[in-house]
Structure 1
Amino acid sequence: MEVDTSIGNENQAMPAARSGSRGFLGKIGSRIGAQTPVETCNLKASDALLLLQNFEESQQGWFWSTDASGNLTYITESVAEVLGSTSLELLGKPIVSLFLKPVDNDAGSRSLPFIFTKKMQFNALQVQAGNTAGERWLSISGRPHFDKSGDFLGFRGSGSDVTAQRKASDDTSRLAMFDSLTGLPNRASMSKKLEATLAAYRQQKRTCAVMLVDLDRFKQINDTLGHPAGDALLKQVAERLLKIVGQSGEVCRLGGDEFQIMLPDCDDRGTLGDLASKIIDSLSQPYSVDGHRCIIGASVGVSVAPFDGLSSDDIVKSADLALYEAKGNGRGRFRFYSKDLKQSAEDRRVLEEDLRDAIAKNELELVYQPIVNTKTNIVEGFEALMRWNHGERGLISPTLFIPIAEDANLIWQLGEWAIHRACEDAAKWPGKARVAVNVSASQFANDRFPAIVDAALGASGLAAERLELEITEGVFLAETNETTAMFEALKNRQVRLVLDDFGTGYSSLSYLQTAPFDKIKIDQNFVRGATEPGSRNGAIISAIVALAEALGLDTTAEGIETLDEFELISKLNVSHVQGHICSKAVSQATLIENLEGGSWRIEPSGPRHHRNDRLSMYRKVRMIHENHVYSIVIRNLSVTGALVDGLYNVPVGTKFVIDFGDGQLAVATVSRSSGNQQGIEFETRLVSDGNGGLCTSRRVSPYLIAEAGLEVPNMPAGYVPTSKIDKDSLSVPAFSTVADWKATQIKPK
């Protein structure tokens, strides 16, 4: 059946719509009947009218019409109510005034006035209703109407409420771009935004930093408390990240326990390092999940465009390599990307393979650092420290291979070997000195660990009270009945338990009430700087000692390196001390030799005061003076200066620019000079690179380096050196290099 719903000659005045459900259709019934041929329609016109009236009353749709100026001549009462008015009040108003102007890039809504201007037919155009209590979206369709002469009379059309469909569509779009658990942007959303940002910044020569944050020990929370607890923990992590980053950047969740942060216009590595440290510290604080106290950690990798890449893929890969390095060097730290990280990652892979065979090849050994009584200076125990003497590479630092062992699930194997060897060695010592062995959180969580302790003590014959197990606060990641049971099992064996690295970020007095510790080891971070004016570390150490004494526990201060630190520690009644001020770690043979007399007394010796840490190295860099570049060697490096050699006849006060590579330039002044060695002081302090090294806070933009006429990697296509060095302007070198000096010492025969 075809029903002609035309209104007739719109030049005639439209009857005013009345309130009620019949409205528009109720007033034109006679016209419909008159224009429908009876012979082509079995349905009476009145019945057709009733059908249309019922449709309007059902509020599944509505009708509207305008005059040639776009002013309403009719609108269904039900939609008028949605718009906060009545149909009578809306008559004569422009139809476009009923809808909000688009605040986004919704091209359809923006084109509504254009459609009316061009007298175009349109279908299912979505517009947002104005003057409504909540957000309402309407879909409208219409077509222009002309008289027989072709004169435009206005529009007539229909509409429907699509709020529910629009909300469902928005929810679907949000799910596609946002993480449903935390509400943060997801990987797809961040990737799109990062690529757009970097593309725009390449044109503007601006910088943008990216951080990748990976949670440490999160899997243990999932395994012990279940995935719902893990999800609740991730929500709290997201909240903490948003609070720390604030308005300076954007945070997204990549998936699992990985997060990404974008920081536009940020390239100061001092600032970035501080932010990364704040993130690590904050995420390492305890969480409360379903009544459980949970502790995790975090590692952070940092890269900066355009220094470390131009595209989003490149910059994220760089940050990922930095994150891998941070996790590989002990976790709970940050790392900036550098060009040598690709080789470092390959080296770690090779070392992992070699580490699997290290025990079988007899490459592992234990050395022992004395633990000295601060009152008597008598050695009362030793901490066992593992060393790896690689067959080809020589000694490899534990800070490198222990994290590799943890990632490769080799820590249980290494730990079992260490406790057996330590007990075996200690059983051969003269006297009754104790041996302390470090226990990882994964070892502690394994219900087979007490049996390993039994086997080691039984095979060696060592008395249980001479074995100390040093346990970090990491065992309290999730306080469970299994944790309590493990403490009871170990204490029943009469071994001594030591809380290692106390106060490193998430200490809790609650577990000192229940965990049967015999000693607290004060982390060296509290010792370092404790003697400096204004430091509060001394007060903190004093409080820890008072707490330990009240609980009947011994105390050991780690990392004591200077006499003033030793004197302070003694004054604060710390019972034991450990560090280079007394002795470095010694071999089994040296240990036995010093204990032959029945006891070993060590008088503290070393520097009076602590100075800025200096990193010993042999690193070739470039030193620039005027328009000459010299190759020199850095012997040691600190945040304020360095010792270099390679030039002769350099007066005190001479200024240089030190080129560390990768855009790192530091202005320095010679403070002392002797022969081919100079002490230099930097105008701007260096900052931590997050991995125990130092770097410049800022780097020279690769765009500027390229414009200076030098080749630079990572530059966009078409970026080539633009200037050439004028050789005629070069001056005579002011200083002699070592090679030049040696050449002058060769006398002709």
Structure 2
Amino acid sequence: MMLKRNLPDMGWRYAFAGSALGAVAPLAFAAGALASAGFSHGLLAFPAMAIGLAATTALATGGIGGVMASRFGRQLERRARFAEAERAGTRDLYHTAYHDALTGLGNRHALSRDFPAFAAPRSDAAERTADQAVVLVMDLDRFKFINDTMGHLAGDAVLRALTTRLRDGCGRDSRIYRLGGDEFVILMQAPGNQALLAGIVRELIQGVFRPVHHAGTEIETAGSIGITFCPVEGDSLSACLRRADLALYEAKEAAGAAYCFYTDEMERDDRSRRRTELDLRQGVESGALRIDYQPILEAGSLQPRAYRAQIGWTHPEHGEIAPQLFMAMARESGTMALVEQWHLRQVLDDAAGWPAEIAVVLRISVEEVARPSFASQFAQMLSQRKVAATRIVFEVEFGNASARLIGQARGLLETLQAMGVRIAAKAITRGAGDLDPVAAEPVGLWQADLNDLRAVAKGLSLSDTLKAVSDLAAAVGVQLCFQNVDSEGDLALVSQLPDALVDGRIAGPGLSNAEVAAMAGIHSPPAVLSAGNVCSLPLSVALAAAH
């Protein structure tokens, strides 16, 4: 027990025990020889005993040395295994740090590491003339829609399939990176001739953007590619990616899979757009924006029933900017929420000073409606200004919103409807595919585009078509408003349905808040608004109706 306690290592215990036995053995042999042969003969045994003692000592020393060598060897082996594990762990960490986990492609860190060598000027002048460093930025169309409607597994399958196709299509000399989401970057040495490179890119698009089979279904794929050369020695990665992104922005304006080469004009346009976006933000903060109120009329009486609130902006340098343009700028620059919140507050401030029977129609994005706090904040704004919720009609812009976002918005729209707010939706004029996502829900107003109805009618009577749409609206108990009523002929046609509403240029230009208030004092008060009764009137028509 003492030996086990003092020498816990098994090898050392066996070595010590063997050495002790080896040392005792010659002494025992010598004592036995002396006892049996007498002293004289026993003396002769001393040389043999000395030889045995020396041999035993050597064996014991060798045993202890062997144990020490074995122990040292095991320590060296353990240290070697530990060092190899550390090297393997370092390699794994390095691979993880520089590669995308889903596709195995290099990530943004790898792109930053590889780009300087890729963009460095080549030594051979002839090769520099033939090939040139090219950066391609690619992203997918409808990738968010795929994730939201089919699940992230489907999105992952699409990314892996496209990665394989990119590797096959780009060749071994190209390098492919995934920067996150659906954005890919390709570095390649390609012909400096733009026409030749365009042919290569077209072949790449044809090979990459094909349907992906997943879970028994085919997922259609498409995307856009922005292309830029790296002609400047020492050109930075950020500069090249910026140019490629500008070209990508232009390519996305085209329908379907498309590509675009960077031009200097894109840089100038981008600088101008950024200055305008900054001006827009400052315009919101300084009060440079305004609200124009477009009248909406009742077809039979030509009396105003509501006003459509639309943001107007006269730029100090560029003059009047179309609402669609600066709202698109607001969306791209991230100022959309700021603009919409200003719009809503200003409209409610104006409506608070109008007669209680006048309604107002506001266009609002699905992102704003889907904010969890929007309904409660809007209710508080109504209460502070003492504006009835029944005077508000929301036109919700769904655009390319995801199914998840539309689902969130629907729930909050129900809350708004419970407060008394009315929702406007597009009527069925071009087919079920053009029906607004909220049209299946109870709404306060159906909007039917007169131009679309003409296209639907074709050889049929337009009057009969309008009557059929009106009957359908009456059957489901929804107020009908005809849009794009721009001429006297349009007004005469729609006036055959006296309960319908009229929205278009025939009602005249937009009015200021002061003009709306003045109009309210001229004409006789219209009937009290019902749950779906929404309309508006132009200044010229209002004056005629008043007299």
Correspondence 1:420 to 2:345: yes
Quote the Cα distance in structure 1 between the aligned partners of 2:477 and 2:163: 40
Give per-residue Cα distances to partners, 1:244-277, cap 9 Å, x unaligned.
xxx9xxxx98543445799x9998xxxxxxxxxx
Q: Is the 8 A contact 1:419 1:456 kept in 2?
A: no
Quote the Cα distance in structure 1 between the aligned partners of 2:309 and 2:287: 17
Match of 1:359 in 2: 284
Q: Is the 8 A contact 2:375 2:416 kept in 1?
A: yes
Structure 2 residue corresponding to 1:485, chosen from 411, 433, 440? 411
Q: Is the 8 A contact 1:440 1:471 kept in 2?
A: yes
Correspondence 1:584 to 2:509: yes
Structure 1 residue corresponding to 2:180, chosen from 248, 256, 262? 256
Q: Secondary structure at the match of 2:282?
A: coil
Alignment of 1:668-679 (within 5 A): none
Q: Secondary structure at the match of 2:307?
A: strand
Alignment of 1:3-22 (within 5 A): none
Quote the Cα distance in structure 1 between the aligned partners of 2:488 and 2:454: 13
Which consecutive unaligned segments of at least 5 residues does structure 1 have? 1-174, 268-281, 290-296, 606-749
Quote the Cα distance in structure 2 between the aligned partners of 1:523 and 1:241: 44
Q: CA deviation at 1:494?
A: 0.6
Alignment of 1:557-596 (within 5 A): 557-561=482-486, 575-595=500-520, 596=522
Q: CA deviation at 1:467?
A: 0.7
Match of 2:151 in 1: 229
Structure 2 residue corresponding to 1:406, chosen from 331, 342, 352? 331
Q: Secondary structure at the match of 2:283?
A: coil
Quote the Cα distance in structure 2 between the aligned partners of 1:557 and 1:238: 48
Correspondence 1:386 to 2:311: yes
Q: CA deviation at 1:404?
A: 3.5
Give per-residue Cα distances to partners, 1:614-636, cap 9 Å, x unaligned.
xxxxxxxxxxxxxxxxxxxxxxx
Structure 1 residue corresponding to 2:385, chosen from 455, 460, 479? 460
Structure 2 residue corresponding to 1:451, chosen from 368, 372, 376? 376
Match of 2:78 in 1: none
Quote the Cα distance in structure 2 between the aligned partners of 1:583 and 1:487: 31
Paired AA for residue 393 in structure 2: E
Q: CA deviation at 1:480?
A: 7.6
Q: Is the 8 A contact 1:468 1:498 kept in 2?
A: yes
Quote the Cα distance in structure 1 between the aligned partners of 2:481 and 2:291: 21
Q: Secondary structure at the match of 1:515?
A: coil
Residues 427 and 444 (structure 1), Cα distance of their counterparts in 2 relative to 1, 3 Å cut: same
Quote the Cα distance in structure 2 between the aligned partners of 1:532 and 1:231: 44
Quote the Cα distance in structure 1 between the aligned partners of 2:426 and 2:480: 10
The percent of aligned pairs where both chains have the same amino acid is 23
Q: Is the 8 A contact 1:301 1:321 kept in 2?
A: no
Alignment of 1:502-581 (within 5 A): 507=433, 512=438, 515-522=441-448, 527=452, 530=455, 548-561=473-486, 575-581=500-506
Using CA pairs under 8 Å that are at least 6 residues apart, name the structure with larger relative contact order, 1 or 2: 2
Residues 580 and 254 (structure 1), Cα distance of their counterparts in 2 relative to 1, 3 Å cut: farther
Which consecutive unaligned segments of at least 5 residues does structure 2 have? 1-95, 170-175, 196-209, 216-220, 527-535, 542-547
Q: Secondary structure at the match of 1:468?
A: strand
Match of 2:422 in 1: 496
Correspondence 1:432 to 2:354: no
Residues 603 and 253 (structure 1), Cα distance of their counterparts in 2 relative to 1, 3 Å cut: farther
Q: Secondary structure at the match of 2:151?
A: helix
Paired AA for residue 358 in structure 2: A
Quote the Cα distance in structure 2 between the aligned partners of 1:497 and 1:534: 33
Quote the Cα distance in structure 2 between the aligned partners of 1:325 and 1:555: 39
Q: CA deviation at 1:575?
A: 3.4
Q: Is the 8 A contact 1:527 1:559 kept in 2?
A: no
Alignment of 1:210-359 (within 5 A): 212-213=138-139, 218=144, 229-230=151-152, 232-233=154-155, 235=157, 254-258=178-182, 318-324=243-249, 339-359=264-284
Paired AA for residue 521 in structure 1: Q
Q: CA deviation at 1:565?
A: 6.2
Q: Is the 8 A contact 2:300 2:497 kept in 1?
A: no
Residues 443 and 180 (structure 1), Cα distance of their counterparts in 2 relative to 1, 3 Å cut: same
Q: Is the 8 A contact 1:468 1:497 kept in 2?
A: yes
Q: CA deviation at 1:416?
A: 2.2
Give per-residue Cα distances to partners, 1:170-198, cap 9 Å, x unaligned.
xxxxx9x9988589999999x99xx9xxx
Q: Is the 8 A contact 1:378 1:602 kept in 2?
A: no
Give per-residue Cα distances to partners, 1:211-263, cap 9 Å, x unaligned.
84465794x998xx79x9345346469989999xxx9xxxx98543445799x
Quote the Cα distance in structure 2 between the aligned partners of 1:540 and 1:181: 54
Q: CA deviation at 1:381?
A: 1.6
Q: CA deviation at 1:521?
A: 3.1
Q: Secondary structure at the match of 2:395?
A: strand
Q: Is the 8 A contact 2:135 2:241 kept in 1?
A: no
Quote the Cα distance in structure 1 between the aligned partners of 2:243 and 2:177: 18
Q: Is the 8 A contact 2:365 2:398 kept in 1?
A: no
Q: Is the 8 A contact 2:457 2:465 kept in 1?
A: no
Quote the Cα distance in structure 2 between the aligned partners of 1:402 and 1:455: 26
Residues 402 and 316 (structure 1), Cα distance of their counterparts in 2 relative to 1, 3 Å cut: same
Quote the Cα distance in structure 2 between the aligned partners of 1:326 and 1:413: 28
Match of 1:24 in 2: none
Quote the Cα distance in structure 2 between the aligned partners of 1:577 and 1:347: 38
**TM-score (norm: length of structure 2):** 0.51
Choose 372-381 or 527-536, whichever is displaced more.
527-536
Quote the Cα distance in structure 1 between the aligned partners of 2:160 and 2:496: 44
Paired AA for residue 500 in structure 2: S
Residues 512 and 388 (structure 1), Cα distance of their counterparts in 2 relative to 1, 3 Å cut: closer
Paired AA for residue 256 in structure 1: G
Q: CA deviation at 1:204?
A: 10
Paired AA for residue 488 in structure 1: E
Residues 562 and 426 (structure 1), Cα distance of their counterparts in 2 relative to 1, 3 Å cut: same
Q: CA deviation at 1:366?
A: 0.8
Higher strand residue share: 1
Match of 1:473 in 2: 398
Q: CA deviation at 1:489?
A: 1.7
Choose 380-389 or 343-352, whichever is displaced more.
343-352
Residues 342 and 487 (structure 1), Cα distance of their counterparts in 2 relative to 1, 3 Å cut: same
Quote the Cα distance in structure 2 between the aligned partners of 1:424 and 1:408: 27
Q: CA deviation at 1:405?
A: 3.0
Give per-residue Cα distances to partners, 1:330-349, cap 9 Å, x unaligned.
xxx99986543212322333
Q: Is the 8 A contact 1:415 1:439 kept in 2?
A: yes
Higher helix residue share: 2
Quote the Cα distance in structure 2 between the aligned partners of 1:501 and 1:242: 44
Q: CA deviation at 1:515?
A: 3.1
Give per-residue Cα distances to partners, 1:116-137, cap 9 Å, x unaligned.
xxxxxxxxxxxxxxxxxxxxxx
Q: Secondary structure at the match of 2:274?
A: helix
Residues 387 and 323 (structure 1), Cα distance of their counterparts in 2 relative to 1, 3 Å cut: farther
Q: Is the 8 A contact 1:372 1:379 kept in 2?
A: yes
Match of 1:699 in 2: none
Q: Is the 8 A contact 2:348 2:387 kept in 1?
A: yes
Residues 509 and 602 (structure 1), Cα distance of their counterparts in 2 relative to 1, 3 Å cut: closer
Residues 371 and 601 (structure 1), Cα distance of their counterparts in 2 relative to 1, 3 Å cut: closer
Quote the Cα distance in structure 1 between the aligned partners of 2:277 and 2:316: 14
